[in-house]
Chain A
Amino acid sequence: MIHEYKKTLKNYVIGLLWLLGLLWPLLGIHPDGTLSFDRTFTTWLYIAAGSFICLLIYMLNKSGLLRPVGNALSAPREKASRLIGAVPIWVWIGALLVAACLYPVFTGRYAQDVATNVLIYICLGLGLNIVVGLAGMLDLGYIAFYGVGAYTYALLNLHYGLSFWICLPIAATLACIAGCIIGYPTLRMRGDYLAIVTLGFGEIVRIILNNWMTLTNGPNGLLGIKPPSLYVPSFEAGFSFELLYIKKLQYLYYIALALAILTITAVRRLNHSRIGRAWESIREDETAAELMGVNTFILKLLAYAMGALFAGLAGAFFCARMRFVSPESFTFIESAMVLSMVVLGGMASIPGIMLGAAALIILPEVFREFETYRMLAFGLAMVVMMLFRPAGLIPAKRMGTRSEDREG
């Protein structure tokens, strides 16, 4: 016992010294060339004191001194969890849906904008989840399909004046086709090699968008794209339909919500279908899946195309919301972001990915107050999350969730 505490304390001291070594150059060296220690030291002391308290609680818990407290709390906790378990799942979904629908009524522009972003990234995350979480192929160029969707709407709208609603399926189809074109030569590869090749293809798409001046106007981007429109009945001067452009953020939020719900439903159904099961078998063991009669090539291509489809939908909406596209929105960092959402939230887990998307969009906004340390805090939060929940925020629950469950 004593030996164990000594070991923990030793690790604690070493960790603190390492932190000091890291903090000093970050806080102590000033741009004008002067050095100072006091600020580093006070910050370090705060952190040391804070972590010491955490350590103390941890050690107390381990030695069993906190057990009475835990026992006292366990009864009400059990009660609460039973209460939560007693409410059927559709009530939760319904409550969430109502909350999502009422959200714009109680919030301002800024909050609505962030929420719309979250919804777009939910679509992207769930789409990528088909490729990464279900079929188990690491795709680092996913954002290219988002770009294909966005530029499809932008170009069709600017040149042919097609409306958002017509372009939505066209964008999805084109992204799907792009997925097949890119997927066909690359999907023969496995693992790390596939990741590198998809990374390359993602960059190729971005560079084409950047350099094809005559079509995409290059890095300047395309301006003047119309927002989604609606025909609204009007009663001025007799009954007629009036074309109304949806520019208000509130309505755009609802469109994003509809797209997200569509994506969630579709991915959920795919997840629980025969095809979803085959994807998972490919993820688990490709050769064994082949031996069992799963056509791995076609199914991998399908996973890629389906993933691209949802990215295309999200891309078209993104473009209609911004009314502007440029290749800058489709850089590798965006692919990495979406991938982080999938991994952070929990691979193959739909609620997990929704939470992951929300976390990765909202956290940087919350940390805005820390100004310069914003990205540092964001990175730290990610490291901590992965340390404590390596399987994701809400890991996929895979036991007894299939048809057998309903039977019994």
Chain B
Amino acid sequence: MEPILQLNDIVTSYGRIQALKGISIQVFPGEIVAMIGANGAGKSTTLMAICGVLPIDRGEIYFKGQAIQGMPPEKLPPMGLCQVPEGRRIFPRLTVDENLALGAFYRHDTEEIEKDLDTVYGLFPILKDRRRQHGGTLSGGEQQMLAIGRALMSRPQVLLLDEPSLGLAPLVVQKIFDIINDINRTQSTTILLVEQNANLALQTAQRGYVLETGRIIMEDRAETLMHNPEIRKAYLGE
């Protein structure tokens, strides 16, 4: 099978410091892939590089067989690639409705947008109750739901999720991950998941990559990674 998203030997740097030193990743249609690693390993940097927010020094990125490196970020959602950025980054002074409408910014098919809006409100009923509130007045978990909902409004084929568990209570995290699973199953959306919470990420994903200081040090099936003694020691706290 052809990978839907493929990174070949990506190198990026912040100033003179190399953040990614040759990252190669393959994501196949329909799967959930986890990227785990410590702080500063380059997980979020990889996602920002995929989305074109960070310019890359070397390497190629293919999405659905098309080279997308060097493309401006706003071209990607229409192609079916959307990111839920780290720290949620919702628009705090816009209402929930407006936040979601911005997710569908590139689209003009009003009726289909309405349908997707209903789908998102179906996934996150709490957002519907708060649809006229400012995004900034929502709780952390609700904001994460809004960020995911906003990305879903662009009808992504591949969803990049950056630390969806960041700063959330364990119960809320579980709920978010249930929904991520649900999105993957019912909408057959491919998901590339970046997480600090390695345990949870590997439970959710089918395959995983382990990053360390800008390099991939291991890649395998999630289950295998989870039982790997080194991984258990370094990332699962044993």
Residues in chain A within 8 A of chain B (CB atoms) = 274, 277-278, 280-281, 283-285, 287-296, 398-400, 402, 404
Is residue B91 within 8 Å, beta carbon to beta carbon, of the partner chain? yes
Contact B76 A293 (CB under 8 A): yes
**Listed A/B pairs (20) with beta-carbon separation below 8 Å:** A274-B105, A277-B105, A281-B91, A281-B105, A284-B91, A284-B93, A284-B94, A285-B89, A285-B91, A287-B89, A290-B53, A291-B83, A292-B82, A293-B76, A293-B105, A295-B74, A399-B134, A400-B95, A402-B95, A402-B97
Q: Which residues of A contact B165 (CB under 8 A)?
A: none
Interface centre among A283, A288, A293 (most CB of B within 10 A): A293
Asked if B133 and A399 sit within 8 Å, CB to CB, the answer is: yes
CB-CB < 8 A to A404: which residues of B?
97, 131-132
Residues of B with C-beta under 8 A to A398 = 93-95, 134
B154 touches A284 (CB 8 A): no
In the assembled complex, the Cα of A398 lies from the Cα of B131 at a distance in Å of 12
* Distance of A399 Cα from B135 Cα, bound (Å): 11
Report if B23 contacts A (CB, 8 A): no
| Contacting residues, chain B, for A280 (C-beta < 8 A) | 91, 93-94, 98
- Cα distance A402–B101 when bound, in Å? 12
List 13 additional A-B contacts (Cβ < 8 Å) besides A287-B85, A287-B89, A292-B105.
Answer: A277-B94, A280-B94, A284-B93, A290-B73, A292-B102, A293-B78, A294-B102, A294-B105, A398-B94, A398-B95, A402-B95, A404-B97, A404-B132
**A277 contacts across to B, CB distance below 8 A:** 94, 98, 101-102, 105
A275 to B72 Cα, complex, angstroms: 19
Please tell me which one of the listed residues B53, B133, B150, B151 contacts residue A287 in the complex, with CB atoms under 8 A apart: B53
B129-160 vs A, CB cutoff 8 Å, 1 = contact: the mask equals 00111100000000000000011001000000
Which residues of A lie under 8 Å from residue B94 when comparing CB positions? 277, 280-281, 284, 398
Hey, which chain B residues are within 8 Å of A402, CB to CB?
A: 95, 97-98
Pick from A283, A291, A296, A399: contact of B85, CB below 8 A: A291
A294 to B76 Cα, complex, angstroms: 10
A400 contacts B132, CB within 8 Å? yes
Once bound together, how far apart are the Cα atoms of A155 and B93, in whole Å? 44
Kindly state the separation between the CA atoms of A400 and B75 in the bound complex, as whole angstroms: 30
Q: How many A-B residue pairs have CB under 8 A?
A: 84
Question: Known contacts A278-B102, A404-B97; is A291 also within 8 Å of B53 by CB?
Answer: yes
Chain B residues whose C-beta falls within 8 Å of the C-beta of A399 in the assembled complex: 95, 132-134
Contacts of A400 in B (CB 8 A): 95, 132
What is the number of residues of chain B that contact chain A, defined by CB distance less than 8 Å? 33
B53 cross-chain contacts in A, Cβ below 8 A: 287, 290-291
Query: 8 Å CB contacts to A: which residues of B26-81?
Result: 51, 53, 72-78
Q: Is B90 an interface residue (CB 8 A)?
A: yes
Q: Are B85 and A288 in contact (CB under 8 A)?
A: yes
Q: Complex Cα distance A144/B95, Å?
A: 35
- Mark B92-114 against chain A: 1 for CB-CB distance below 8 A, else 0: 11110110011101100000000
Q: How far is the CA of A283 from the CA of B97 in the complex (A)?
A: 17
B74 CB contacts on chain A under 8 angstroms: 290, 293-296
Beta-carbon nearest neighbor of B160 in chain A:
A291
Chain B residues near A289 (CB-CB < 8 A): 91, 102
In the complex, the answer to whether A292 meets B103 with C-beta atoms within 8 Å is: yes
| Shortest distance from the beta carbon of A295 to any chain B beta carbon, whole Å | 5
**B92: which A residues are within 8 A, CB to CB?**
284
Q: How close is A359's CB to chain B, nearest CB, in angstroms?
A: 24
- Which residue of the partner chain, among A283, A291, A295, A296, contacts B51 with CB atoms under 8 Å? A291
Which residues of A have CB within 8 Å of B89?
Answer: 285, 287-288, 291
B105 to A288, Cβ gap below 8 A?
no
Q: B85 near A295 (CB under 8 angstroms)? A: no
B70 smallest CB distance to A (angstroms):
15
Complex formed: what's the CA distance from A335 to B76 in Å? 38
A382 to B108, CA, bound (A): 45
Known: A277-B102, A280-B94, A402-B97. A292 touches B150 (CB 8 A): yes
Q: Which of A280, A284, A398, A402 has the most CB of B within 10 A?
A: A284
A residues less than 8 Å from B102 (CB atoms): 277-278, 281, 289, 292, 294
Complex CA gap A399/B98 in Å reads 10
Cα of A162 to Cα of B132 in the assembled complex, Å: 51
Cα separation A344 to B152 with both chains bound (whole Å): 38
Report B129 CB to chain A, min CB distance, Å.
13
Q: How far is the CA of A283 from the CA of B53 in the complex (A)?
A: 17
Residues of A within 8 A of B101 (CB): 277
Q: Which A residues are in CB contact (< 8 Å) with B132? A: 399-400, 404
Contacts of B154 in A (CB 8 A): 292-293
Q: How far apart are the CA atoms of A291 and B90 in the complex, in Å? A: 11
Measured CA separation A398–B101 after assembly (Å) = 15
Chain B residues within an 8 Å CB radius of A274: 105
Contacts of A278 in B (CB 8 A): 102, 105
Neighbouring B residues of A287 by C-beta, 8 Å: 53, 85, 89
Given known pairs A281-B102, A400-B132, the reply for A295 and B83 (CB within 8 Å) is no
Residue of A whose beta carbon sits closest to that of B91: A284
A17 → chain B, closest Cβ, in Å? 40
* A290, B89: Cα distance in complex, Å: 12
Q: Which residue among A281, A291, A293 has the maximum number of chain B CB atoms within 10 Å of its CB?
A: A291
A288 vs B103: C-alpha distance when bound (angstroms): 10
Can you name the residue of chain B whose Cβ is closest to the Cβ of A287? B53
Chain A residue with the shortest CB-CB distance to B95: A399
Most interface-central of B78, B102, B133, B150 (chain A CB within 10 A): B102
Chain B residue with Cβ nearest A284 = B91
Question: Smallest CB–CB gap between A266 and chain B, Å?
Answer: 21
Complex-state Cα separation, A294 to B102, whole angstroms: 8
Minimum Cβ distance to chain A for residue B133 (Å):
7
Closest residue of B by beta carbon distance from A297? B72
